[in-house]
A and B are shown apart, each in its own frame.
Chain A
Amino acid sequence: MEYRTVQTTCTYCGCGCGLLLEVMDEGLVGTLPLKTHPINEGTLCIKGWSVHEFVESEKRLQYPLVRKNGDFLETGWDDVLGLVASRIMEIRDKFGPDSIAFLSSAKCTNEENYLLQKLARAVVGTNNVDHCARL
């Protein structure tokens, strides 16, 4: 028999609210706001309150899919990254760097967002960088 709560940070937006995931016998059963967190001080929005539901959702994408002839096919990471890199360079060479835009995410860390804009600006050569945090 085990019941514990695990402190973590909400992944939904850039606020960084502290939350607790309720773990019962290794299963994720609920979410609570972390009352002593300096950002959210024991409050959450509806998305934060529901975090435990998406973690084990059947609808969650768990591996890369590549569309071939209209169907999504499960593909390995190396193949997918190779495909994305070659297609991006192909498009850049044909239509110019500003034909490409990079969409980052508030769900990523600062460091990951930094890396994405670096890739956009230094490798591809465009300032077309945006993100989903226009809440």
Chain B
Amino acid sequence: MEAVEKVKVLISEWLTKDKVVGFLALRTVAGHPIPYLFTKPDDLDGLYLGEVRYPLTKLLIRLARKYSDNSFGILARACDERSLVELYKNQQLDPNKVTFLGVACSEELAEKCECFRPYPSRIDIGEQVDRQGDLASVTKIEAMQESERYRYWMDQFTKCIKCYGCRNICPVCFCPSCTLEDHDLVHLGGMPPQIPIFHLVRAVHMADRCIDCGLCEEACPADIPLRTLYRKVRETVKNLFGYLPGESVEDVPPLESLGDGTFEVCQTCREK
């Protein structure tokens, strides 16, 4: 049996045996792969397993909240799995109520995404491709003189049209109240955004959260190299605290391991 048919059979079993009430993935409609919750095995004809990526795990949060007693299935590439780890850690999703179907990315996609590990912990479809991650984009910018580097980033940030797309698409951005919408810190309802503070606020918030999926950069209408910026903060946190987001639910983020131990995931986030 063809690999695609095999996974369809697997998902059908999950659905018919009530392992999950729905399977969140992409479905081809009018030639476009778009997010869809499969609830009936018959719908699986349109299941799309190609290389277009949407922040499925983030989309699952709303469903999981409304149907908190139910379990869901979800299509997950390596980046999706890393985001699941962060969403479990931050109590946005319950790991006991999510089953993922692991997709290993092709060599082409892994190359395009500059992925450091293009396969999830369990592969249901696709072949494992090993690819070494690198920080070439960061190194290139760090080779610049300080003034030149500052100019470079300021020039990049000047292009921003303040669409909030980087935040909106981000699979690990879920806070009900966002610092980028805080009147005291950000001038709301006006352009241009204050630079570099607007972008650096987000970069700081990404430091212990970013799973390096690159969706932000893909969603940026101004082509700002956001991923390079967040890779740098990821690297900084890794070097300082030995912490990498998205690797394991057991790993304790620096905000929790530092200080007097009173830090905890905020109640507001947990409830909403």
Contacts and interface: CB of A to CB of B under 8 A. Distances in A.
Interface string B166-179: 00110000000000
B24 A35 contact: no
Contacts of B70: 1
Interface string B10-47: 00000000000110100001111111110100000000
A23 to B, nearest CB: 10
Contact of A5 (B34, B162, B164, B220): B34
Contacts of A49: 163-165, 168
Given A3-B22, A34-B34, A22 B59 contact: yes
B202 interface: no
A9 B221 CA distance: 17
A1 B21 contact: yes
Contact of A33 (B30, B33, B165): B165
Contacts of B53: 35
Interface residues of A, number: 27
A24 B63 contact: yes
B6 interface: no
A40 interface: yes
A124 interface: no
Given A1-B67, A43-B221, A36 B32 contact: yes
Contacts of A64: none
A7 interface: yes
Given A29-B62, A44-B163, A45-B221, A20 B168 contact: no
Contacts of A51: none
Nearest to B67: A1
A7 B29 contact: yes
Nearest to B21: A1
B66 interface: yes
A7 B32 contact: yes
A7 to B, nearest CB: 6
A32 interface: yes
Interface string B55-89: 00001001100110010000000000000000000
Interface string A10-35: 00000000101010110001101111
- Tier of interface size on chain B: 20 to 34
B237 interface: no
A4 interface: yes
Contacts of A40: 221
A21 B165 CA distance: 15
A19 to B, nearest CB: 10
B116 interface: no
A4 B37 contact: yes
Contact of B161 (A4, A42, A45): A45
Pairs A-B, 6 closest by C-beta atoms = A3-B37, A43-B221, A46-B163, A5-B34, A5-B35, A45-B163
Interface of B: 21-22, 24, 29-37, 39, 52-54, 59, 62-63, 66-67, 70, 161-165, 168-169, 218-221
7 contacts: A4-B37, A7-B32, A20-B34, A36-B31, A44-B163, A44-B165, A48-B163
Given A5-B35, A7-B30, A36-B52, 19 more contacts: A3-B22, A3-B35, A3-B37, A4-B36, A24-B66, A25-B66, A30-B59, A30-B62, A32-B35, A33-B219, A35-B52, A35-B54, A40-B221, A42-B218, A43-B218, A44-B219, A44-B221, A48-B163, A49-B164
Interface of A: 1-5, 7, 18, 20, 22, 24-25, 29-30, 32-37, 40, 42-46, 48-49
